[in-house]
Amino acid sequence: MSFLADAATMFGRAPRRPTSFSEEAEILHGRKRRAHVTKLLEDARARPPRTTWRNRRWAVLIGVNLLFTISFWLDIQIVEGSLTASRFLGFHLADVYSSLLVILAQRHVAVNLVIGSVTVMILWAVVGGRAYCSWVCPYHLVAELAEKLHLRLAERGIVQDHVFHRGVRTVLWFGFAALALVTASTLFLTLNPIGILSRAVVYGASLALLWVGFLLLFEVVYSRRAWCRYICPIGLTYGVIGAGAPVKVVYHLERCAHEGDCRKVCEVPHVLELTIKGRAEDAEVDIGPDCTRCGMCVDICPTDSLKYEIKGLRDLL
């Protein structure tokens, strides 16, 4: 898939069926007969369920957020502030989208915000922008737990998932920015559950947590992972920043049995449309920039057709 097609999908366009395939992909699609798929799944049955990458991700996410707390309470000044804006060993760090809103609202370019934003942009441009969402964002963790409850209730027919157009996120990205410029109001920073939870972890609970609770309740009873999928402009920002990152989840067509388990667990399942039979353009395809690199698909894939890789190197693990 081309960069422009990836970008269009990230901004809300529905994934499109490819019109051409590489020669190797044509051959592999032709091999995907019942016997071949059956053999792949039979070979995978002996392997126990894995949560390897989920466990690593949770450890990193909890560790990063607790580092703020430990540093504050012990007054050791390793990390100061919160995920919205902080200093790590004296180096300024700032969330890119939040900084943009502050600059637009104040109509003033603060040097510290620029330095902090650029530093963060460089980091996530290498690691893969939306890895921030799954490996650092505290809301991602609590929303992931809420999602488990939603799925259990859905299995019993108690709730139903309501899907919104993903383009809403793009509209809100520009909407919050325009609001900051016109009214000098950073409304998003007030509503942002990432900042609310990050500050609560460091400085203690506040009434703002009621808003986070409402969001989680909405996701449990009405729309699965609604904030991350359809609303959060921070996720979109980091997706753009990390579009060309060398760290990728890569799809290997030859190994795929097209059973669809990966799409069932994915926070952003549109990035895995290529795992549907007949959709992959090539034998190896990088998952698009909206991928959060959470590793859920890597863990659950029974035939190891999805793997972490670094461009120019082979398997990360």
CA-closest candidate to residue 249, choices 304, 281, 280, 286: 286
CA-closest candidate to residue 249, choices 225, 228, 265, 233: 265
Averaged pLDDT, 107-132 = 93
The per-residue pLDDT for range 213-264, each reduced to its tens digit, is 999 999 999 999 999 999 999 999 999 999 999 999 999 998 888 889 999 9
- Do residues 15 and 122 both lie within one domain? no
User: Domain boundary residue among 212, 240, 268?
Assistant: 240
User: Domain boundary residue among 240, 274, 301?
Assistant: 240
Tokens of 25: 């992909």
- Mean pLDDT score of the chain, rounded to an integer? 90
- Do residues 202 and 152 both lie within one domain? yes
Domain count, the chain: 2
User: Domain boundary residue among 224, 240, 256?
Assistant: 240
pLDDT band at 33 (very low <50, low <70, confident <90, very high): low
* Cβ atoms of residues 83 and 136 within 8 Å: yes
Averaged pLDDT, 162-171 = 96
- Do residues 111 and 221 both lie within one domain? yes
- Do residues 131 and 114 both lie within one domain? yes
* Helix or strand run (H / E) with residue 157: none
- Do residues 132 and 232 both lie within one domain? yes
pLDDT band at 46 (very low <50, low <70, confident <90, very high): low
Q: What is the pLDDT of residue 14?
A: 87
- Do residues 229 and 110 both lie within one domain? yes
- The answer to whether position 281 is within a domain reads yes
- Do residues 289 and 187 both lie within one domain? no
Q: What is each CA distance from 238 to 107, 124, 222, 303, in whole angstroms?
A: 23, 7, 26, 30
pLDDT of 312 over the 90 cut: no
Residue 187 belongs to domain spanning:
54-72+80-240
- Do residues 169 and 299 both lie within one domain? no
The Cα 78–Cα 70 span in angstroms is 9
- The answer to whether position 316 is within a domain reads no
- Do residues 40 and 182 both lie within one domain? no
- The answer to whether position 91 is within a domain reads yes
- The answer to whether position 315 is within a domain reads no
| 31 vs 30, higher pLDDT | 30
- Do residues 125 and 262 both lie within one domain? no
* Cβ atoms of residues 260 and 101 within 8 Å: no
- Do residues 231 and 280 both lie within one domain? no
Q: What is the pLDDT of residue 36?
A: 61
Residue with tokens 């894995």: 50
Residue 253 CB neighbours (<10 A):
26
- Do residues 173 and 276 both lie within one domain? no
Tokens of 59: 């450890």
